[in-house]
Structure 1
Amino acid sequence: MTAETPVVADSGTAIQDAIAKLFGPDGRADPYTPARVLREAGRVHETPLGHKVLTRYEDCSAVLSTTAWSHAEEAGMMHPTVSPEDAPEELPTSFLWMEPPDHTRLRNLVTKGFTPRMVTRLRPRIEQLTEQLVDNALEAGEFDLVEMIAYPLPLIIACELIGVPEEAYGQVHQWSQDLARGFDHDYTLPEESLRARSTASRGFMAYFRELLNERRVRPADDLLSALSQVEDRGDVLTEQELLATCITTFVAGHETTANLIGTGMLRLLRNPDQIEAMRARPGLTEYAPDELLRLEPSVQITTRAATRPITVAGHDFEPGEGVVILINSANRDDAAFTDPDRTDVSRYADRMKPPNKHLGFSLGIHYCLGAPLALLEMEVLLDVLLRKVRTLELRSEEPPFKPNVVIRGLEALPAAFKA
């Protein structure tokens, strides 16, 4: 695009149709085609709700990489039906929607309880659980991969990590799904979804408050106990911050990873040559999860708001003016990735010539704290599948997707395994 090209494209029918499909329920199975239409038509567009939308990797990564753009305004941009007074209970997102200095303070404290050592020591348990789940799938022969593997694996690991007892797995799983659905824009959600989000948020807060009180009396070897004890120069997490952090950690570590496993496995089942590539080079399982997340990001879009006058994509933004970042578009920008729609599990294996970082975990200060755990769970699953499963088959050409726009994932994935 030349400097003279208009940055806000004309509101042609094709562009409006692409925006409607991308943000509507019909775009869940394939949001990437309408995203490509927008990306090729221009660097920035405007939605019917008045939000500017960035489509290209250069612009999206520039916004995500700097604190000149704030994530703290997402509640106001995406959830206008929630008052600021109710937000702590209705939208408990902890440091996810904060900026320095509060973001720095909370993230530093949480990092003390979510150390690389804690993630590394989970590997044997992840391997044990994954083998059990794959064995169950092999015994069934034909099964729903989402129900039998994609959800149980990150759900159980997240519960064990945080300290949620087994009898509560079903309840927290339902709350997590309702919260994930509620990350979509309020004006696009049916009334029952808004009510379910409120019930889930308040249910989570009450439940983790009860667990926290138990841990204060009887500390355990879990994240909840660790977070309740972290301290940095006399600073500690308040109860509200701790509870919101537990909820954010749980939903991010469970729902988004389940979606990565589901959509990642769908992509591999549709590209069996890539499964064979990993059989030939088992070391590729370490790098394949990043490629799968580039192609199928669990978080499809995010928002930022300008903190000062700034120009991006040739458009001048005033302080407080927001943008919607199309991660699903940026990750497939051919200006940033060679042959971007092709699945290549070796793409991130070349340490000498690494490709651009995908935006599936964001960039900058909001880079996902749980990224190592999500990648580890997917890597272990691929290792176990290659070792135990001879034949992997897709049993539905068009498996159903959930209606979610922001956090995208499969409703079900009919598959068949043979040992």
Structure 2
Amino acid sequence: MAAPEVNAVAQEQDPAVLNALVQLFGPDGRSDPYTPARVLRDAGPIHQTPLGHHVLTRYEDCAAVLSTTAWSHAEEAGMMHPTVKPEDAPEELPTSFLWMEPPDHTRLRNLVTKGFTPRTVARLRPRIEQLAEELVDNALAAGEFDLVETIAYPLPLIIACELIGVPEEAYAQVHQWSQDLARGFDHDYTLPEESLRARSVASRGFMGYFRDLLNQRRVHPRDDLLSALSQVEDRGDVLTEQELLATCITTFVAGHETTANLIGTGMLRLLRAPDQIQALRDRPELTASAPDELLRLEPSVQITTRAATRPITVAGHDFEPGEGVVVLINSANHDERAFPDPDRTDVARYSDPMRPAKKHLGFSLGIHYCLGAPLALLEMEILLDVLLRKVAVMDLLSNNPPFKPNVVIRGLESLRVAFQPA
């Protein structure tokens, strides 16, 4: 694939800024994106990448962009995936309402919400508790194990499959497709050819698989999200098959891949801060708010994009309609202007409603706030409860665990740990 032309203006920036941009988006940024993000944040609120994209580094500006419809998410395909032809996007990039704006976004989100209500999430608590206990018991029986493989992936994978209606024999296949799609959210020009091919195979595989499953549910409905979505109506409006399939894929990947990353990187944060594990033992009620702190520190979605819908000024830069911007969630969530001592793990940070902390951007803001946020937080909360009850000692066996190469959706490749029972 031919590389895009390097932006001349970006090349004239401070060498320290250019170096930080290269480090942040390059392989070295996977294990630690926060050090180069701090360099960028300290150097200024906005910079330009060698590809010509402007990036926002500070919380106030990032939050302002995410929280208003003056900025659209509908152009992400064009900004991040220029190798995909528009006519191929429905099959190659099935993202449902993620990359839509009102009125289509409103219509689809309202319909999907009917099949993904708080009552549905609350009904999942006993099953999540049962599964978390089984996975932790298996880990304790092993003694030493890979937390990503043993707990972080199985928990949200099985819950997402059961919620949507994916049978157990397909777990391994949809898991692989999900990982390939998550990798494919990175900018096309940064992906090797094999990753682009894998994304295409995963996307089309998902579409075909869910199409077959949908046809089965139309004949024999079950108590699952796929059956519910096929029947939702709102003033006579319904989901088209394309919208339904894309919504199932989006729900699965977002609910599985990002939650697995939250569990993995969140546990790494805790294992590196034993005083915070003790704080959770001393105050078990903190498990309800600790997941928000872990996601602030380690957002599963590290960056996102928006495009101006009208002339607008942000961080001193005048944007024209259609001009895009990259929102550095990883930088904004560590901005000392918004979060005191931002790099410190503090499981009590979000626990006091009388002194509320700033809302982190790990679930975005505004109309694109993550629909599955309550489920992700619930899974992490329940897992923490089970770990505190069943595990007396949690030891980290690797000081530098490997991260996946993903830039946008970041997570651990593995995490070797040792558990001792309570």
Correspondent of 1:125 among 124, 127, 132: 127
Q: Structure 2 CA distance, aligned partners of 1:251 and 1:354?
A: 31
Aligned CA distance change for structure 1 residues 9 and 37 (closer, same or farther; 3 Å): farther
SS in structure 2 at match of 1:86: helix
The answer to whether structure 1 residue 359 and structure 2 residue 358 are counterparts is: no
Equivalence for 1:4: none
Q: Structure 2 CA distance, aligned partners of 1:158 and 1:74?
A: 25
Equivalence for 1:102: 104
**CA root-mean-square deviation:** 0.8
Runs (5+) with no aligned partner, structure 2: 1-9
Scaled by the length of structure 1, what TM-score is found? Answer: 0.98
Correspondent of 2:137 among 118, 135, 138: 135
Whichever residue aligns with residue 193 of structure 1, its letter is S
Kept in 1: contact 2:261–2:410 (CA 8 A): yes
Q: Structure 2 CA distance, aligned partners of 1:374 and 1:103?
A: 22
Q: What is the aligned residue count?
A: 412
Whichever residue aligns with residue 403 of structure 1, its letter is P
Correspondent of 1:148 among 142, 147, 150: 150
Kept in 1: contact 2:11–2:50 (CA 8 A): no
Equivalence for 1:280: 282
Q: Structure 2 CA distance, aligned partners of 1:272 and 1:77?
A: 41
Correspondent of 1:230 among 216, 232, 237: 232
Runs (5+) with no aligned partner, structure 1: 1-7
Whichever residue aligns with residue 392 of structure 1, its letter is M
Q: Structure 2 CA distance, aligned partners of 1:274 and 1:211?
A: 44
Equivalence for 1:348: 350
Kept in 2: contact 1:9–1:44 (CA 8 A): no
Deviations 1:110-133 (A, max 9, x none): 000000000000000000000000
**Aligned-pair CA distance for 1:293:** 0.2
Sequence identity of aligned pairs in percent? 84
Q: Structure 2 CA distance, aligned partners of 1:177 and 1:333?
A: 30
Aligned CA distance change for structure 1 residues 9 and 85 (closer, same or farther; 3 Å): closer
Correspondent of 1:301 among 290, 300, 303: 303
Correspondent of 1:157 among 156, 159, 183: 159
**Aligned-pair CA distance for 1:148:** 0.1
Whichever residue aligns with residue 123 of structure 1, its letter is R
Equivalence for 1:14: 16
The answer to whether structure 1 residue 33 and structure 2 residue 26 are counterparts is: no
SS in structure 1 at match of 2:318: strand
Q: Structure 2 CA distance, aligned partners of 1:272 and 1:147?
A: 22
Kept in 1: contact 2:58–2:331 (CA 8 A): yes
Deviations 1:52-72 (A, max 9, x none): 000000000000000000000
**Aligned-pair CA distance for 1:9:** 11
Kept in 1: contact 2:11–2:18 (CA 8 A): no
Trace 1:41-56 onto structure 2 (pairs within 5 A): 41-56=43-58
Q: Structure 2 CA distance, aligned partners of 1:169 and 1:50?
A: 40
Q: Structure 2 CA distance, aligned partners of 1:148 and 1:308?
A: 48
Correspondent of 1:189 among 188, 191, 200: 191
Scaled by the length of structure 2, what TM-score is found? Answer: 0.97
Equivalence for 1:201: 203
Kept in 2: contact 1:9–1:45 (CA 8 A): no
**Aligned-pair CA distance for 1:25:** 1.0
Q: Structure 2 CA distance, aligned partners of 1:393 and 1:376?
A: 24
Q: Structure 2 CA distance, aligned partners of 1:10 and 1:69?
A: 28
Kept in 1: contact 2:121–2:375 (CA 8 A): yes
**Aligned-pair CA distance for 1:287:** 0.5
Q: Structure 2 CA distance, aligned partners of 1:335 and 1:27?
A: 23
**Aligned-pair CA distance for 1:10:** 6.3
Kept in 2: contact 1:298–1:407 (CA 8 A): yes
Correspondent of 1:171 among 170, 173, 185: 173
Equivalence for 1:72: 74
Kept in 2: contact 1:402–1:409 (CA 8 A): yes
Q: Structure 2 CA distance, aligned partners of 1:360 and 1:346?
A: 17
Deviations 1:302-357 (A, max 9, x none): 00000000000111000000000000000010110111011000000010010110
Kept in 2: contact 1:182–1:193 (CA 8 A): yes
Aligned CA distance change for structure 1 residues 375 and 9 (closer, same or farther; 3 Å): farther
Q: Structure 2 CA distance, aligned partners of 1:26 and 1:115?
A: 40
**Aligned-pair CA distance for 1:26:** 1.2
Deviations 1:54-99 (A, max 9, x none): 0000000000000000000000000000000000000000000000
The answer to whether structure 1 residue 381 and structure 2 residue 383 are counterparts is: yes
The answer to whether structure 1 residue 248 and structure 2 residue 250 are counterparts is: yes
Whichever residue aligns with residue 175 of structure 1, its letter is W
